[in-house]
Amino acid sequence: MNKINKKANLSLLVMVGLLFISQFSVAQGIVTGTVTSLDDEAGIPGVNVLIKGSNSGSVTDVDGKYSVKVPGSESILVFSSIGYISQEVVVGNRTVIDLVLDPDNRVLDEIVVIGYGTAKKSDLTGALSSLETDQMKNQVLTGLAEGLQGQAAGVHVSQQSGAPGRDINVVIRGVSTLSASSAPLYVIDGVPIANGLSQINPNDISSIEILKDASSTAIYGSRGANGVVLITTKSGGGKVSSGVDFSTYYGVSKATNIINMANGPQYAEMINEREINSGNAPIFTQQEVDNMPTYDWQNIVLQNAPVQNYDFSTFGSSDKTTYNVMMNYFDQTGIIKGSGFSRGSLRLNLNSDVSNKFNISSNMMIGVSRRDITPDGGQTGGLLNAQAMIPFMPPRDADGEYTIPSEFFPEASINFPNPLAALEQVDNNSTSTRILGNVSMRYNFIEDLSLTVLLGVDNQTTEGNFYDPTTNPGSLGTALVDKRFNQFYTNQNILNYKKDLGDHNLDVTGLFEWTYAKTSSLRAGGSGFFTDALGYNLIDLAENQNPASTSAGTESSIASYMGRINYGFKDKYLITVSARMDGSSKFGVDNKWAMFPSAAFAWRMSNEPFIQNLGVFSNLKLRLSWGKTGNQNFASYQSLATFGTLTSLFGETPSVALRANNLANNELKWETSISTNLGLDFGFLEDRFMFTAEYYSKTTEDLLAFVPLSPSTGFTSIVQNIGSIRNQGFEFAADVQIIEGGFRWGVNANISYNKNEVLELAGGSDIFGDALEQQMGQMNIIREGYPLGAFWTFRESGYDENGAITYVDTNQDGTINDADKEILGDPGPDVFYGITNKFSWKGFNLSMFLQGVAGAQVINSTSFFSIEGMYRGANPSLDYYNNRWKKDGSNPNPAYGALFTSRNNMESGSDRFIEDASYIRLKNIRLSYDLPIQKISWLRNTQVFVSADNLVTITDYTGYDPEVSVYNGGSVTSRTRLGVDQGAYPTSKTYIVGVKFGF
């Protein structure tokens, strides 16, 4: 059921209740009128129109019209509706009373989605953030998750990459796993979805609730440990009986930041110095050096990129049915040539009260998205490649052919390709088609008891296509086609009993649910094409079937029972108790089922007379919760002994051989988190100032880890549940109206602090991160007593007589080796925050959204060219040119080592690469104006707006962007390489102008 309908239904319920207790009703006259809303001047349906001091009244129809019998002219009409500030009007001698209701942006009794049901916000006992989706819709969002950034306390959102359409990393209250996914569970209109959010149009969303503490998430059991994001899409019911909305914007993106590189003469000068330092003759004469041209390679691969978006919806309602049809087309070109993202989506949300007992609703979406992919991170093809380029080399030669660095200037010993050639020539794209939706039926046996059956589906087909044509220097023509099919089905059966017995409020939910997921994939390719004409579309043309064809697939299922009781006494004491039993196919045969209980208590102190007597608080609520949740978001079949294939050779004949992949573990189970939460909500001045403070502690045990085995078993490790991690933190959120009236100023702010600590690892032994690019080596470690993925490396001590970097011999054993590495930082931000300022005046709205993190570090591996001493000819940066070590001692305080033709043996990752990645960013600023168009009958509203994303970023970070980190995803290998900027696609600044019409 959608939110607005709920509001309407609730109003109806209240109304009915009031009529029921009415004692008398005297008809003396009839007053009619229309109730409209201040924000869009549309009629408001379902407004209660009550005669004060009586129990009689009326309710407005779908157009906001009402008619009510009043006892006399002294009667006072009370107009109230959820979402609006109530008003009282003395009837006097009027027979027509039209009224404009002020929307109430801080309504306490909003209905919020809590998972398998809804609750009044005032009745909540757990930690839940209800998001304002308006702000996120101001931004240019390729994915919905990006819009969560800075919007809710405790929710840390970071981008792995600024590439359009790349998935976003969302972590709620800290990472609490080593090898399972740390992503929250996303639930759209009741259906827990299996895949990313990139096909979902942000404009389809009406509300987002984020469940953070265990008492809220325990109802999702073995999938609840990372938090739950509940997304509700727009329904057709509302203030307007029917309408058409159209909005569009157009804009342009550009790089936020360029790294200053050495120019042609400077590069040539350094090449000469490199040769001289190595005992060779210089390559260029001074005159040649001075006359070198300069090509700005970063700008050669970057572009100003257009973005456009079109949203169209038609919606409406009749007595029984509401509908909303939404269409969207979005197209964003990337700031790196060759990259981009586009999306089209079509949605139908339908809700029908077939009878007063039977309701059918459906939310269905078909989405198509396409991503054009360029290398993201790494030193070939992307921005790092461009940085490294010989600055005096043009991108194309006189004949228009791509230049090849190693041929253009072989003396440089450069082994990088021409980045432009790959970006312009390689066709690498991925298209996803998705059907996501549900059909649900609800039957009310009696007014208080209902059974809801929901069937949900999330099917996605992804086609990855790659072709590297023969026109790309060095390519023989290589094609790769990768098709993936993901199916996900669920069925929920929810029995709900709600009873309001005066002082006692009871809401009991029982659930049986199953989900089934299946993936399959097929990959084929070839190389050696005599023509580029058909590319990946006809791999039969390839000379070699290399890479070889592969196929794979998985299945998983979960069966669950859940029960939840919400009980309220006198609106003061609120108790929630829930328990979920989950059985998962992924677990070992000895551990298939698990129980996830929770309990929460809230005390609405503001309803106690002694608080009311203080006259200070308009709301004061203390919340306390405890619960157990699980994380089973890891690959299927890990508990089984599985075999893989390899190729063996006997005689001259290759044949398939089968080898054991891993040992079985019949005891394998979910990771378990036990969390406690202490929350305080308080509001002043009729909730004009509202605040929430939370403290939480989440300890996750039974971490899934690769535990080393004695290799004579034939296996080097086994997956076991060993280890624990704790996340503790504070959150603070404020929603205040500083100025009200004609000119309004509202501030919405949140700030979060999280401390992550690894408490226990298998055998107490460290887990080392994978080696980073080039000679950086391992720079991450997972060690007991430290945050996950802490930075572990050498400290530099200066330069030796040859200008090579020297390192601190921590243990003073005379050699520099891993034993000298120290923990010198960690990737998790200590603090992250978001502040939204909103100003409005006579149709003008200005919003400013600032967002930032503090106390985070990043390994800036993009600067690794600067320790290479140009031995392979990479341009090491202008800063390097200005501050390098000089053989003649002319630079007494060098910031970089010597130039040299061979790799210095001790070049390594070190503290120089660990940079403060704190930043504050003007994420979005938007100015809009609602045109005064009341006289145009066919137009409901018109708005024009201008907006800018990522306009200003204040940071000490010297790479492209402090937020971007290539390895931040869910896999164990990426978790051991947290917080590493290895040349990821940077974020961009985007400016847009747009217009919205309502018909």
Whichever of 711 and 892 has its CB closer to other proteins, that residue is 711
Q: At 163, list the tokens.
A: 């590439």
Answer whether 450's CB lies under 8 Å from 441's CB.
Answer: no
Rounded least distance, CB 807 to other proteins, Å: 18
Residues 6+ apart with CB under 8 A from 67: 30, 31, 32, 58
Whichever of 531 and 716 has its CB closer to other proteins, that residue is 716
The burial of 285, by beta-carbon neighbours within 10 Å (0-12 exposed, 13-18 middle, 19 or more buried), is given as: exposed
Rounded least distance, CB 454 to other proteins, Å: 10
Q: Which amino acid is at 595?
A: M
87-90, strands of its sheet edge to edge: 57-59, 48-51, 76-80, 87-90
Distance CA 938, CA 936 (A): 6
Question: What is the separation of C-alpha 4 from the centre of its chain, rounded to a whole number of angstroms?
Answer: 26
Q: Which amino acid is at 91?
A: V
Rounded least distance, CB 545 to other proteins, Å: 12
Q: At 808, list the tokens.
A: 């601190």
Whichever of 285 and 645 has its CB closer to other proteins, that residue is 645
Rounded least distance, CB 546 to other proteins, Å: 7
Rounded least distance, CB 361 to other proteins, Å: 13
Whichever of 180 and 925 has its CB closer to other proteins, that residue is 180
Rounded least distance, CB 440 to other proteins, Å: 10
Neighbour tally for 921: CB within 10 Å: 25
Rounded least distance, CB 794 to other proteins, Å: 18
Answer whether 205's CB lies under 8 Å from 259's CB.
Answer: no
Distance CA 618, CA 611 (A): 9
Whichever of 129 and 519 has its CB closer to other proteins, that residue is 519
Identify the sign of the CA torsion 153, 156, 159, 164.
negative
Rounded least distance, CB 359 to other proteins, Å: 10
Q: At 533, list the tokens.
A: 């004409």
Whichever of 531 and 642 has its CB closer to other proteins, that residue is 642
Distance CA 721, CA 588 (A): 11
> Which residues contribute to the site for other proteins (CB under 8 A)?
354-355, 357-358, 441, 443, 445, 451, 453, 455, 491, 493, 512, 514, 520, 546, 551-559, 561, 583-586, 592, 636-637, 639-660, 663-666, 708-716, 718, 763
Whichever of 638 and 780 has its CB closer to other proteins, that residue is 638
Answer whether 130's CB lies under 8 Å from 137's CB.
Answer: no
Eight-state DSSP code of residue 4: H
Rounded least distance, CB 492 to other proteins, Å: 9
- Phi then psi for residue 901, to 5 deg, are -80, -15
Whichever of 753 and 807 has its CB closer to other proteins, that residue is 807
Q: Write out the DSSP string of 261-283.
A: ---HHHHHHHHHHHHHHTT---S
Eight-state DSSP code of residue 214: H
Whichever of 541 and 663 has its CB closer to other proteins, that residue is 663
The burial of 172, by beta-carbon neighbours within 10 Å (0-12 exposed, 13-18 middle, 19 or more buried), is given as: buried
Nearest to 912 by CA among 867, 954, 876: 867
Residues 6+ apart with CB under 8 A from 937: none
801: left (phi over 0), alpha (psi -120 to 50) or beta: alpha
Rounded least distance, CB 171 to other proteins, Å: 29
Distance CA 430, CA 627 (A): 40
Rounded least distance, CB 162 to other proteins, Å: 35
Token pair 């290799």: residue: 711
Q: Is the N-terminal amide bond of 306 cis, ω within 30° of 0?
A: no
Rounded least distance, CB 527 to other proteins, Å: 11
Distance CA 568, CA 88 (A): 30
Answer whether 324's CB lies under 8 Å from 234's CB.
Answer: yes
Whichever of 54 and 361 has its CB closer to other proteins, that residue is 361
Whichever of 385 and 591 has its CB closer to other proteins, that residue is 591
Task: Report the greatest alpha carbon distance in the chain.
Answer: 110
Whichever of 493 and 942 has its CB closer to other proteins, that residue is 493
Whichever of 304 and 902 has its CB closer to other proteins, that residue is 902
Whichever of 94 and 523 has its CB closer to other proteins, that residue is 523
Rounded least distance, CB 453 to other proteins, Å: 4
Rounded least distance, CB 469 to other proteins, Å: 23
Rounded least distance, CB 559 to other proteins, Å: 5
Whichever of 537 and 902 has its CB closer to other proteins, that residue is 902
Rounded least distance, CB 713 to other proteins, Å: 5
Answer whether 267's CB lies under 8 Å from 212's CB.
Answer: no
Distance CA 391, CA 264 (A): 5
Q: How many distinct helices (H) and strands (E) make up the chain?
A: 12, 53
Whichever of 688 and 903 has its CB closer to other proteins, that residue is 903
- What 3-state class would DSSP assign to 425? helix
